[in-house]
Chain A
Amino acid sequence: AQRVTQPEKLLSVFKGAPVELKCNYSYSGSPELFWYVQYSRQRLQLLLRHISRESIKGFTADLNKGETSFHLKKPFAQEEDSAMYYCALSGHNQAGTALIFGKGTTLSVSS
Chain B
Amino acid sequence: EPEVTQTPSHQVTQMGQEVILRCVPISNHLYFYWYRQILGQKVEFLVSFYNNEISEKSEIFDDQFSVERPDGSNFTLKIRSTKLEDSAMYFCASGKGSNGYTFGSGTRLTVV
A44 touches B91 (CB 8 A): yes
Q: Contact residues of B with A, CB < 8 Å?
A: 30-31, 33, 35, 41-45, 48, 50, 55-56, 58, 91, 93, 95, 97-106
Which residues on the B side are within 8 Å of A44 (C-beta)?
43, 91, 93, 103
* Given A42-B105, A96-B31, residue A101 in contact with residue B43 (CB < 8 A): yes
Interface residues of A (CB under 8 A from B): 32, 34, 36, 42-46, 49, 51, 86, 90-104
- CB closest chain-A residue, reference B104: A43
A-B pair number, CB within 8 angstroms: 63
* Other A-B pairs, 17, CB within 8 Å; known A96-B56, A99-B101, A101-B42: A32-B98, A42-B105, A43-B103, A44-B43, A44-B93, A44-B103, A46-B100, A49-B100, A91-B98, A95-B50, A95-B98, A96-B95, A98-B48, A98-B58, A100-B45, A101-B43, A104-B43
